[in-house]
Amino acid sequence: MYRLGIDLGSSYTKGVLVDENNRMAAFHCVKTGYNFNKAAEKIISHFAESYEIVYPAYTCGYGREEIKVPFVSNSELIALAKAVYEIYQTSCSIIDIGGQDTKFIQVNALGQVDKFKMNRKCAAGTGSFLEEIAFRLDVTPEEFTEFAKEATQEVKINSYCTVFAISEIIGMIKTGATLANIIIGIYNSIILRSVELSLVEDHLVITGGLPAMHPTIVGLFKERYPDSDSPEHAQFLAAYGCVLLNNHNYQQGGVNESS
Amino acid sequence: MSEKGTQDKTELVRLKSTGELRITMDAYFTRLKKAAETRNRKIAWCTSVGPAELLYSMGFEVYFPENHGAMLGAGKNADKYIPTAVAHGYSPDICSYLTSDIGAFLQNETPLQKSGFSSVPRPDILVYNTNQCREVEDWFNFYARHFNVPVVGIHTPLNIKDLNPEIIKSVEDQYHRIIPELEKVAEHKFDMDRFRETVGLSHDGCVLWKQVLQKAKHIPSPINFFDSAIHMGPIVVMRGTQHAVDYYKILLAELEERIKNNISAVPAERFRIYWEGMPLWYKLSSMAKLFAKLDTCIVASTYCNSWVFDDLDSANPFESSALAYSKLFIVRSDTVKEKVLEQLLHEFSVQGIIYHDSKTCARNSNNRFGLQNRLFKQTGIPYLEINGDLNDPRCYSEEQSIIAIETFIEQLEAKM
């Protein structure tokens, strides 16, 4: 019997199965598309082939209340903080870079959220910023990582706005900047937008879809914040946290009926 | 956390006085309409924290474009009008009251048409006070040029830390200086006794409004920010008249009755929040429901407290007007604002603060110079910043803000 956590994000829907010892046992990620429930169904049918799932599902993200199976919804920020604390067992600062949101969360030594902040209504600093630029440059995320290895120096991207950033990049290409150096500039631009959310006070944990798909950015964070890392399955931690937050509803063998 | 099928908590408890509020506001607009149609009385346009008492005392009907701006926002029509003003050279980054109001005017539309007005009431004179922002001067100048009528103003220093006698004297002198122009338009002389009487009524209305707001100190609170943002209408547009005084006596009595009968604005109040910044007029109702669902009452706000001019004194009408209108929150330095906020947080037993960073209203967005961090250090009261705008819904991401607000309440809950 496995409990299911689903993070229905703006770009991707992430599902995780959690075993009776509160460990992540299986992972699956699909593009969210236009229908949250359909995305969740894909996750569920994928897991159902090999695992027995106990309901309700535990959800978070923009589509957290848009699924048709029984569910308990949660704040993705509280869920993420819970999962990170479960792993690190200490106070920490979290930067989560997702498709549409970048979040800063400060978790205290008791595992509670002391403060949090989300990006302004703007794509800069989020996965969408990078996706749009990748689309315009006709480069895949995997190629981004490969190209980045060849970078010799950083090119500075100044524009806040995605459209202006693309114009700026085209100008750089015209003046001879290499794609590898530009990619490092794009990554650093995202880092700068995320670290301005708040002061990093503790060990920095980098999570979300973007660092999972672009591991180079984790290294660039480390250059600025030596005391930082990105845990395994960084993209699935909010979904995992949803399950952990609801441990009180669960006893071994099923849902606690009295809760 | 929410479970599917959770009991609907969004059924809001409506204040009975709302019916009387409607009658009071309708009567105000009827007087304005009559003046606009018959020209039986002169019409002055005034800024919301401008010298309304002086204008009422001189027999003007007084119209407030900011009130009209809020109506456009609450009617969810601002984004229909803003692009027209932008096309006429007004930036989308300046006050969206201004851009929606001017845009609507250029499109010859107003919500007042539903009440039988053909247009906004034509002004005979426009009178502003820059105590809140510089935009009001440019806003009024647009209409002064259009209607070819005089515009006069009081220029109050900004970011006042020490409200010294020189500042008050300067503002008082400017009050005196605009009187000859007002007399010319009104076609009669200024009457000191009438002014004293109007200032006295304004004082009484403000004191009653303050008492209304202070009822929210009670736990649970009988009134929340979303009620106050609607019921503040009379203190904004009828300050200095008996109408406002009469209305707030009724509202105050209802709140006292609610406290006696243990009726709260949010049925299951568990969290008490302070709202810093402008309302999001186009989301007033959905936000009220969201907070009710979260068992959260917004018990106090800078915005609603901004119409408490209890320093007004009929014995000393000019000097006390200068004092009252230069003492208000928006025109003060952050040092003063921090002290005011700290006091209010304490008085209203507040557990958290929400700062609304309003894209087009810099002066009502008090989280831009580090105040939020300093206040957190002083009080330990957690805060949340949300990005939006008073009128322009294009500056607001509802989904993101709902997640942030729900998370904030869960953050508070975890520490209870």
Q: Which residue from A minimizes the CA distance to B416?
A: A112
pLDDT at A164: 81
Q: What percent of chain A shows pLDDT beyond 70?
A: 95
Strand intervals (E) in B155-279: 271-276
Cβ B258 vs Cβ B222: under 8 Å: yes
Query: How far is it, in rounded angstroms, from Cα B407 to Cα A245?
Result: 13
Q: Which residues pair with B3 in a beta bridge?
A: A72
Put the strands of the sheet holding A92-97 in their side by side order.
Answer: A113-118, A102-107, A92-97, A204-207, A228-229
For B56, the 3-state DSSP assignment is helix
Q: How far is CA B139 from CA B55, B239, B362, in A?
A: 19, 22, 16
Residues of A in contact with B406 (CB under 8 A): 75
Mutant choice from A118, A119, A246, A247 vs B, greatest count of B C-beta within 10 A: A118
* φ, ψ of residue A156 in degrees (nearest 5): -90, 125
Cβ A70 vs Cβ A52: under 8 Å: no
Q: How far is CA B110 from CA A178, A224, B71, in A?
A: 56, 54, 9
First to last CA, chain B: 15
A73 → closest Cβ in B2, B396, B400? B2
Verify whether the Cβ–Cβ distance A116 to B399 is below 8 Å. no
Angle made by CA atoms B253, B305, A116, in degrees to the nearest 5? 120
Q: Kindly state the average pLDDT of the residues A10-34.
A: 95
Cβ A130 vs Cβ A210: under 8 Å: yes
Residues of B in contact with A116 (CB under 8 A): 404, 407-408, 411
Verify whether the Cβ–Cβ distance B407 to A71 is below 8 Å. no
Any chain A CB within 8 A of the CB of B415?
A: yes
Cβ B295 vs Cβ B272: under 8 Å: no
Instruction: Find, among A92, A194, A187, the residue nearest to A134 by Cα.
Output: A187
Q: How far is CA B242 from CA A143, B20, B203, B308, B311, in A?
A: 73, 14, 11, 16, 18
Residues of B in contact with A100 (CB under 8 A): 400
DSSP letters, chain A, are: -EEEEEEE-SSEEEEEEE-TTS-EEEEEEEE-TT-HHHHHHHHHHHHHTT--EEEEEEEESTTTT--SS-EEE--HHHHHHHHHHHHH-S-EEEEEE-SS-EEEEEE-TTS-EEEEEE--SSSTTSHHHHHHHHHHHT--HHHHHHHHTT--SPPPP--SSHHHHHHHHHHHHHTT--HHHHHHHHHHHHHHHHHTSS---S-EEEESHHHHH-THHHHHHHHH-SSEE--TTTTSHHHHHHHHHTGGGEETTEE-TT-
Q: Which residues pair with B298 in a beta bridge?
A: B273
Cβ A32 vs Cβ A66: under 8 Å: no
Query: Binning pLDDT at 50, 70 and 90, where does residue A253 land?
Result: very low
Q: Kindly state the average pLDDT of the residues A100-124.
A: 88
Q: Which residue from B minimizes the CA distance to A102?
A: B400
pLDDT at B4: 46
CB atoms within 10 A of CB B128: 28
pLDDT at B278: 97
| Cβ neighbourhood burial of B165 (10 Å; 0-12, 13-18, 19+) | exposed
Verify whether the Cβ–Cβ distance A78 to B400 is below 8 Å. no
Q: Which two tokens stand for residue B366?
A: 């008090």
CB atoms within 10 A of CB A210: 30
Q: Which residues pair with B87 in a beta bridge?
A: none
Instruction: Find, among A133, A125, A87, A123, the residue nearest to A104 by Cα.
Output: A125
Any chain B CB within 8 A of the CB of A120?
A: yes
pLDDT at A121: 66
User: Within 13 A of A241's CA, how many CA atoms are on the CB side?
Assistant: 28
- Tell whether the torsion through CA atoms of A254, A259, B5 and B6 is positive or negative: negative
| Cβ neighbourhood burial of B226 (10 Å; 0-12, 13-18, 19+) | buried
Any chain B CB within 8 A of the CB of A62?
A: yes
Put the strands of the sheet holding B383-388 in their side by side order.
Answer: B296-301, B271-276, B352-358, B383-388
DSSP state for residue B241 in the 8-state scheme: S
Residues of A in contact with B414 (CB under 8 A): 78, 112-113
Any chain A CB within 8 A of the CB of B3?
A: yes
| Cβ neighbourhood burial of B367 (10 Å; 0-12, 13-18, 19+) | buried
Mutant choice from B394, B400, B415 vs A, greatest count of A C-beta within 10 A: B400
For B41, the 3-state DSSP assignment is coil
The helices-and-strands tally (H runs, E runs) of chain B is: 17, 9
Residues whose CB falls within 8 Å of the CB of residue B6, separated by 6 or more in sequence, listed in order: none
Verify whether the Cβ–Cβ distance B407 to A65 is below 8 Å. no
Residues of A in contact with B407 (CB under 8 A): 75-78, 113, 116
pLDDT tens-place string over residues A26-36: 999 999 999 99
Residues of B in contact with A114 (CB under 8 A): 382
Mutant choice from B290, B356, B403, B405 vs A, greatest count of A C-beta within 10 A: B403
Q: Kindly state the average pLDDT of the residues A238-248.
A: 93
Q: Which two tokens stand for residue A137?
A: 């440059």
Per-residue pLDDT of chain B (416 residues; tens, 9 = 90+): 555 444 466 667 789 999 999 999 999 999 999 999 999 999 999 999 999 999 999 999 999 999 999 999 999 999 999 999 999 999 999 999 999 999 999 999 999 999 999 999 999 999 999 999 999 999 999 999 999 999 999 999 999 999 999 999 999 999 999 999 999 999 999 999 999 999 999 999 999 999 999 999 999 999 999 999 999 999 999 999 999 999 999 999 999 999 999 999 999 999 999 999 999 999 999 999 999 999 999 999 999 999 999 999 999 999 999 999 999 999 999 999 999 999 999 999 999 999 999 999 999 999 999 999 999 999 999 999 999 999 999 999 998 899 999 999 999 998 87
Q: Which residues pair with A2 in a beta bridge?
A: A53
Higher pLDDT pick, B12 / A12: A12
Query: How far is it, in rounded angstroms, from Cα A187 to Cα A213?
Result: 12
Query: How far is it, in rounded angstroms, from Cα B386 to Cα B389?
Result: 10
Residues of A in contact with B8 (CB under 8 A): none
pLDDT at B356: 98
Query: Binning pLDDT at 50, 70 and 90, where does residue A239 land?
Result: very high
Could you say which residues from 67 to 86 on chain A have a Cβ atom under 8 Å away from some Cβ of chain B?
70-78
CB atoms within 10 A of CB B238: 26
> Å from A13 to nearest chain B CA?
17
B403 → closest Cβ in A56, A75, A117? A75
Angle between helix B65-74 and helix B78-87 axes, rounded to 10 deg: 120
Q: How far is CA B177 from CA A226, B62, B73, B138, B182, in A?
A: 64, 20, 35, 20, 10
Alpha helices by DSSP H, listed for B261-348, are 284-293, 302-305, 317-327, 334-347
Residues of B in contact with A65 (CB under 8 A): 2, 4
Query: Which amino acid is it at B399?
Result: E
Verify whether the Cβ–Cβ distance A113 to B407 is below 8 Å. yes
Is the per-residue pLDDT at A161 higher than 80?
A: no
pLDDT tens-place string over residues A166-220: 888 888 888 889 999 999 999 998 998 899 899 998 999 999 999 988 999 999 9
Q: How far is CA A26 from CA A23, A31, B79, in A?
A: 9, 17, 47
Is the per-residue pLDDT at A163 higher than 80?
A: no
Higher pLDDT pick, A248 / A256: A248
Angle made by CA atoms A21, A27, A31, in degrees to the nearest 5? 150
Query: Binning pLDDT at 50, 70 and 90, where does residue A249 land?
Result: low
Verify whether the Cβ–Cβ distance A118 to B404 is below 8 Å. yes
